[in-house]
């Protein structure tokens, strides 16, 4: 079992490339997490985790990450991704992620609504929400990526 993360950061980035995979890689680099091995996780922020501005682990490290991404090779298409974290007063938080063919603002609104619903469903009191999103208009092959990295 991996240790419970004690730190987190919200990471967003968009990228272009010759292929959808290159665009995804470039979006990860733009989000400043392109040199880590991301382990996709579900949506719980550990109790007491501290927000920091950047991931600070060696290149190649395994980094648990809740993320949403969208890639497209349709020139002119607008794509967006967003993540949101809901915080309780004294227990764990909930992370939600979204990606779609919409504006960055719309993606952020959708993800915040999802956070609020997750707290309502769990019958938990929501005391704070953090949201970050990114929008991209495809040129050749593009990707929008939003994540919460945990370590």
Active site residues: 37, 42-43, 97
* β-bridge pairing 78-87 and 128-137: antiparallel
* HSE of 17, CA atoms in CB hemisphere, 13 A: 18
* β-bridge pairing 44-45 and 50-51: unpaired
Q: What are phi and psi of 77, to 5 degrees?
A: -70, 135
CA-CA distance, 142 to 11, in Å (whole number)?
A: 17
Q: Is 50 buried (19+), middle (13-18) or exposed (0-12) by CB count in 10 A? A: exposed
8 A C-beta contact, residue 148 and residue 85: yes
**By C-alpha distance, which of 61, 52, 59, 40 is closest to 11?**
52
């Amino acid at each position: 079992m991996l240790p419970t993360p004690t730190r987190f950061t919200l990471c967003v980035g968009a990228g272009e490339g010759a292929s959808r995979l290159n665009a995804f890689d470039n979006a990860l680099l733009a989000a400043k997490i392109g040199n880590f091995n991301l382990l996709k996780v579900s949506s719980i922020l550990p109790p007491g985790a501290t927000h920091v501005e950047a991931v600070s682990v060696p290149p190649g490290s395994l980094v648990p990450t809740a993320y949403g991404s969208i890639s497209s090779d349709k020139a002119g298409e607008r794509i967006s991704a967003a993540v949101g974290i809901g915080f309780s007063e004294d227990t764990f938080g909930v992370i939600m992620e979204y990606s779609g063919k919409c504006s960055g603002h719309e993606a952020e609104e959708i993800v915040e609504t999802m956070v609020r619903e997750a707290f309502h469903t769990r019958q938990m009191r929501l005391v704070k929400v953090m949201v970050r999103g990114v929008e991209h208009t495809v040129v050749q092959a593009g990707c929008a990526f939003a994540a919460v990295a945990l370590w």
